[in-house]
Amino acid sequence: MSNLEEYMLPCLNKTLFGVECTGCGAQRAAVFLFRGDFTKAFFMYPAIYPLAFLFTFLVFNLFFKFKYDYTVKISLIIITALAMAIAYIIKMFYLFN
């Protein structure tokens, strides 16, 4: 990660309370994703792929409208939220056991 780590924002929740938030690891996973290290990106933050797909769809949808774009957006938001919640629960389970 070299010099990109210098520009990453610290987690305020982890700094103040000592407990990771649901987004901890997302910045590092995004760096791995942009570098093409897809496995490391997944293990760093499993919700990176649904999040990236949601973001890509939202940007694409700004320029091109679809018949069922609202349904797709809501579905992707739900899938992303579930992936974030499940990854967080698993992380906390292993952290406290």
Residue 1 has pLDDT above 70, yes or no: no
- Interior/surface letters 67-77, b for 16+ CB within 10 angstroms, e for the rest: eeeeeeeeebe
From residue 19, give the alpha-carbon distance in Å to each of 22, 37, 58. Answer: 10, 27, 31
In this predicted model, what pLDDT tens digit does every residue of 63-81 receive, in sequence order?
999 899 999 999 999 999 9
User: Residue 54's domain spans which residues?
Assistant: 2-95
The domain tally of the chain equals 1
In this predicted model, what pLDDT tens digit does every residue of 28-66 receive, in sequence order?
898 899 889 999 999 888 999 999 999 999 999 999 998
pLDDT of residue 28: 87
Q: Binning pLDDT at 50, 70 and 90, where does residue 94 land?
A: confident
Is the pTM higher than 0.75? The answer reads yes
